[in-house]
Amino acid sequence: MGKFEKEAEELLEAIGGRANIAAVTHCATRMRFVLNDDEKADKKRIENIPTTKGMFTNAGQFQVIIGNDVATFYNDFSDVSGIEGVSKEAAKAAAKTNQNVVQRLVGTLSEIFTPLLPAIIVGGLILGFRNILEGVQIQALGQAVVDGVKQVTSEGQPVYNTITQVSPFWNGVNSFLWLPGEAIFHFLPVGITWAVTRKMGTTQILGIVLGITLVSPQLLNAYAVNSTSAAEIAKNWSWDFGFFTMDKIGYQAQVIPAMAAGFLLAYLEKFFRKHIPEAVSMIFVPLFALLPTIIAAHAMIGPIGWKIGQGISFIVNTGLTSSFSWLFGGIFGILYAPLVITGLHHTTLAIDSQLIADFGSTNLWPLIDLSNIAQGASVFAVYLLHKKNKKEAEISVPSTISAWLGVTEPAMFGINLKYVYPFIAAMIGSGIAGMTSTLMGIRANSIGVGGLPGILAIRGEDMLKFLLPMVLAIVVPIILTIFFRQAGIFNKLDRIGAGLGDVNTDTANLGGAQNAAKTEIPQGTLVKVTSPLKGEVRELSTATDAVFSQGIMGQGVLIEPSEGLLVAPFDGIVSAIFPSKHAIGLISDEGVEVLIHIGMDTVKLAGQGFETFVNQGDHVTREQKLLTFDIDLIKGQGFIVETPVIVTNQDIFQPDTVGTLPRTLTVGDDILTATRI
């Protein structure tokens, strides 16, 4: 039970219930409500709640003063009311019951990086463009000359100019673009610590301050650590406290130190808020939470991160020089993408530099390049599968371009980690391509541009050979991504199984319709989906729950029912019925899979107010009665009755809305068409 759960329940009732709340947030001391009807708020009752210290209306907001404990109160209020993401968290909690530890960890990483996506995507495109300007040698621009000497490689091959070397304009553009590029990626720990505190419901400005202390200009830049001797670090880059010293090392672009420090800060803040009196908590909670975290970040968390990196570097170097280098090529190809997640991939730069110094070339960098290509290929496959999802395309298209230009973070954090299966497909494809590259003895002359332009950094005699691993890094992830999607392997989010994970499917009854969709129905076949409800139909993007509004489960429409009767939208089979009866899955005779989900969070009613008239596996006809539901009861319990009607097998059928939205409709009106792809 939360600290303020009882008071939160009373406040919810006093402001008119969940149905009267259009939006809610909080600031440093106040709960801020946007109410549908301010007159429904019982101000006298609110004043009598022990935790409230007053209220007023300003700028369209009904504000209730709570005090320094507002963050904790807000979390308890969210739990009680089901507002501010509780439905989303409930969906995630249900999905996590079928996930292992690794999947849960990946899910947490994805949650932290989701609010950072706009910046990461922009940064990826900028850095990819800069890689072309300053990293691609172009023969047509002539051989590079330094102090009158034509530049050649250690093997006597000419070194050609890059665009920035011959064009003052593009050199200026390249220099200017470093400003946003550095802000986004070098200072990524600031965004991470902010995102962690945001996720944990603690003070976000403290997260920002913590992040700044990890990348301060007073610290030795993380990119310069490997080229700086221990003696110089001890002399010029350390704090001397008399009886001990601490290194002044920054953690630019590092993920593990930032995440660990962010979670430590959040837990300390929550701990001290429970034990420090409210009267002085505004002063002492931030002080006691922030300072110990900063000390721990530089004394323990950061150094441990570097030790992990050094250990990985040793393993990589040993693998490259052993007789099992081909096996290492496959393993490294698989594991490089997870290293990017942690930020430890920066340690490979030192290894590449040493290999070039010792042998004049490196066989490690081609593996890194192939991993970039593979991640981009998986995102491209997701785009092909979801090409009608405009919101998905806004992320997947630039992410594909970014990855194929050498920057994979937008692809991994924006798409691949969210769905899991494309990330694993890319790892496997990268491993196969990496093993092939190592077996063929392919080496690079330098640390070049990542992605598809990376072939320009490969030794001249290896360029044509490198085409085969590149093709494998593209084709294998695309095939595996599509296969994993179709088979439901490593996939808990991207198909109807995510919403119906607890429901057994009668494969004997359903197989005919599914097989028809895959083999018998010709491309271009159009299937009509009529309204299963009477009410108002709207865009799916207006749904309260992000799982539906973002099209994660599928595309379709949202219906606000005016009557509690649900009928079949086509002739087909009942593929699944929830035990709580609030959702039903159907497959048309042509193979169109549709999910109808009555209300939001109505699973919590455990079937109360719902009655079904069909069973799983039954064949139904258009407008046949499926179930009834009590709208007044659902609303009386504080739930929303808006109902998504979505097509979940978009890889086979393309859903399109019919008519203008919003509009009023009745049972049997056309709402969607599904076209066989």
In a domain, 93, yes or no: no
Separation of alpha carbons 188 and 194, rounded Å: 10
In Å, how far are 179, 204, 206, 261, 268 from 285, measured between CA atoms? 35, 13, 11, 16, 8
Q: Do 544 and 396 share a structural domain?
A: no
Determine whether 50 is exposed, middle or buried from the number of CB atoms within 10 Å of its CB (0-12, 13-18, 19+): exposed
| Residue whose tokens read 């973002």 | 550
670, pLDDT greater than 70? yes
pLDDT over threshold 70, residue 56: no
Region of 38 (left: φ > 0; alpha: ψ -120 to 50; beta: rest) is: alpha
pLDDT value of residue 604: 77
Query: Taking 50 as the threshold, does the pLDDT of residue 62 lie above it?
Result: yes
Q: Band the pLDDT of 431: cuts 50, 70, 90.
A: very high
CATH number at residue 44: 3.30.1360.60
CA distances from 477 to 180, 319, 334, 379, 552 (A): 31, 25, 12, 9, 21
Residue 634, helix vs strand vs coil: helix
Omega cis (within 30) before 286: no
Look-up of token digits 């323990």: 300
Query: pTM of whole model > 0.85?
Result: no
**For tokens 């320009």, what's the residue?**
456
Are residues 293 and 354 both part of a single domain?
no
From the CB of residue 248, how many other CB atoms can be counted at a distance below 10 Å? 15
- Annotate 412-452 with DSSP letters as a single string: IIIIIHHHSHHHHHHHHHHHHHHHHHHHTT--BSSS---SG
Query: CB–CB of 35/20 below 8 Å?
Result: yes
Give the end of a domain, one of 487, 515, 549. Answer: 487
Instruction: Measure the CA–CA gap between 620 and 564, rounded to whole angstroms.
Output: 19
Q: Is residue 665 part of a domain?
A: yes
Mean per-residue pLDDT, 392-407: 75
- Residue of 213 and 3 predicted with greater confidence: 213
Residue 178 lies in a domain: no
Which has the higher per-residue pLDDT, 99 or 370? 370
Is 152 within the bounds of a domain? Answer: no
- What's the pLDDT at 97? 41
| Cα angle for residues 352, 357, 360 (degrees, 5° grid) | 90
Least confident of 12-21, 169-178, 324-333, 606-615: 324-333
Name the 3-class secondary structure at 60.
coil
Select the more confidently predicted residue: 320 or 639: 639
Whether 438 is in a domain gets the answer yes
Q: What average pLDDT does range 301-313 have in this prediction?
A: 69
Rg value, the chain, Cα: 29
pLDDT digits (tens, 9 = 90+) for 465-474: 899 999 999 9
The region that residue 228 occupies, defined by phi over 0 for left and psi between -120 and 50 for alpha, beta otherwise, is beta
Q: What confidence tens digit (pLDDT) does each residue in 197-224 have? A: 887 778 999 999 999 999 998 999 887 8
The CA-CA-CA angle for residues 296, 300, 305, to 5°, reads: 125
Same-domain status, 275 and 409: no
- Rounded CA gap, 666 and 658, in Å? 14
- What is the pLDDT averaged over residues 66-95? 63
Distances (CA, A) of 235 to 229, 248, 249, 250: 10, 11, 13, 16
Residue 373's pLDDT is 93
pLDDT > 60? residue 98 = no
Instruction: Give SS3 for 475.
Output: helix
User: Residues 106, 337: contact at Cβ < 8 Å?
Assistant: no
Rounded to an integer, what distance in angstroms lies between the CA atom of residue 554 and that of residue 559?
Answer: 15
Closest CA relative to residue 546, chosen from 136, 71, 85, 52? 85
- Phi and psi at 618, nearest 5°, equal -70, 145
Q: State how far the alpha carbon of 31 is from the alpha carbons of 22, 142, 162, 226, 451, in Å.
A: 14, 65, 56, 49, 48
Q: Is 245 in the same domain as 391?
A: no
Q: Is residue 454 part of a domain?
A: yes
Q: Determine the straight-line distance between the first and last CA of the chain, rounded to whole angstroms.
A: 51
CA distances, 571 to each of 585, 588, 657 (Å): 13, 6, 19
**What's the pLDDT score for residue 117?**
64
Number of structural domains the chain divides into? 4
Name the β-bridge partners of 61: 58
Tell whether the model's pLDDT for residue 312 goes beyond 50.
yes
pLDDT digits (tens, 9 = 90+) for 236-286: 899 988 888 898 988 887 777 888 899 999 999 999 988 998 888 888 999
Q: Which of 84, 111, 131 is the last residue of a domain?
A: 84
Residue 28: predicted pLDDT:
54
d(CA 215, CA 572): 59
Closest CA to 418 of 492, 484, 361: 492
Give yes or no: 585 in active site: no
For residue range 595-605, what is the model confidence (pLDDT) as tens digits? Answer: 999 988 787 78
CB 297 within 8 A of CB 196: no
For residue 478, is pLDDT > 90? yes
Contacts of 258 (CB under 8 A, 6+ apart): 188, 189, 192, 193, 196, 211, 214, 251
Q: What CATH number is associated with residue 628?
A: 2.70.70.10
Confidence of residue 29 (pLDDT cuts 50, 70, 90): low
Collapse the DSSP code of 358 into the 3-class scheme (helix H, G, I; strand E, B; otherwise coil) and give the result. helix
Residue whose C-alpha is closest to residue 288's, from 216, 208, 206: 206
Same domain, residue pair 513 and 638: yes
Helices (H), 216-324: 230-236, 256-275, 278-296, 302-321
pLDDT of residue 497: 35
Q: Which H or E element spans position 127?
A: helix 117-135
Note whether residue 247 is domain-resident: yes
Considering 33, 49, 84, which residue would you say is the last residue of a domain?
84
Residues 531 and 658 in one domain: yes
What average pLDDT does the chain have? 79
Residue 603 sits in the same domain as residue 556:
yes
pLDDT band of 506, cuts 50, 70, 90: very low
- Residue 169 counted as domain residue: no
Q: Is there a single domain that holds both residue 660 and residue 536? A: yes
Sheet hosting strand 61-65, strand order edge to edge: 21-26, 30-35, 61-65, 55-58
Pick the catalytic residue: 27, 283, 304, 463?
A: 27
Average pLDDT over residues 379-383: 88
Contact in structure between 309 and 344 (CB atoms under 8 Å): yes
66 pLDDT more than 60: yes
Higher pLDDT, 390 or 530: 530
**Residue 125: pLDDT above 50?**
yes
Range of the domain at 40: 5-84
* Contact yes or no for 155/130 (Cβ under 8 A): no
User: Residue 145 corresponds to which tokens in the numbers above?
Assistant: 């000359």
557/541: higher pLDDT:
557
Same domain, 458 and 560: no
What pLDDT shows up at residue 343? Answer: 52
Tell me the C-alpha to C-alpha distance, in Å, between residue 354 and each of 108, 306, 349, 350, 499: 35, 18, 9, 6, 51
- Lowest mean pLDDT segment, chosen from 282-296, 304-318, 343-357: 343-357
CB atoms within 10 A of CB 187: 18
With a cut of 90, say whether residue 627 has pLDDT above it. yes
Examine the domain organization and report whether 470 and 592 are in the same domain: no
Same-domain pairing of 196 and 298: yes
The answer on 379 and 242 residing in a single domain is: no
